Amino acid sequence: MRKVFVLMSMFSLFAIIGCGSRSGPEPKGRLQTYPVTGKILVDGEPNLGITIYFFASDKLEERMVNPGSFGSQHYAVTDKDGSFKATTYSFGDGLPVGEWTLALFWVGKNPPPEKRFGEQMDDEVQIDPQAVVFSRKYGIPSKSELKVKVEKDKPVDMGTVELKSK
């Protein structure tokens, strides 16, 4: 019984050590990231679920020539108070060094819970016209004026970015 206890203790210790935070260089092929945070307000109000995509500013022309490569692995989603944390590899880890152009997409104000779930839910999805205009205005990377510069060893707080829905 004692051997089982010792073996289980050793296994637990190795599991804890193995799952601990990693220090040292990034794995091969993985760029070092630095925290990028901020807050988005639309018409002075925070909105849950605005998706922010970050595109390398020096590669925007390449993306327009090859539209199949439109997606971005760098993104953030606003929470209920409009705050966001940029993500590259794991939630909130930030962005690699460089200048980034932001493209934003929004589905509109969330319907109340009784409209989202249960018997009272409409058969048709209601599209918020405000959100369509917003996404057309801020969702095209080549036309975006929203940018952020990330430098080595410097976390970036973009502060509050105030946008208009129209």
Q: Are the CB atoms for 108 and 97 separated by under 8 Å? A: no
Position 92: which residue type? Answer: G
Q: Which fold has domain 32-109+124-163?
A: Immunoglobulin-like (2.60.40)
State the distance between the two ends of the chain, measured CA to CA, in whole angstroms.
71
pTM: 0.71
Domain ranges of the chain: 32-109+124-163
**pLDDT tens across the length of the chain (166 residues):** 444 333 344 433 333 334 434 445 556 778 899 999 999 999 999 988 899 999 999 887 665 545 544 556 899 999 999 999 999 999 999 999 999 999 998 877 655 555 544 444 455 556 677 778 888 888 888 888 999 999 999 999 999 999 988 7
Nearest residue to 80 (alpha-carbon basis) of 39, 117, 121: 39
Position 19: which residue type? Answer: C
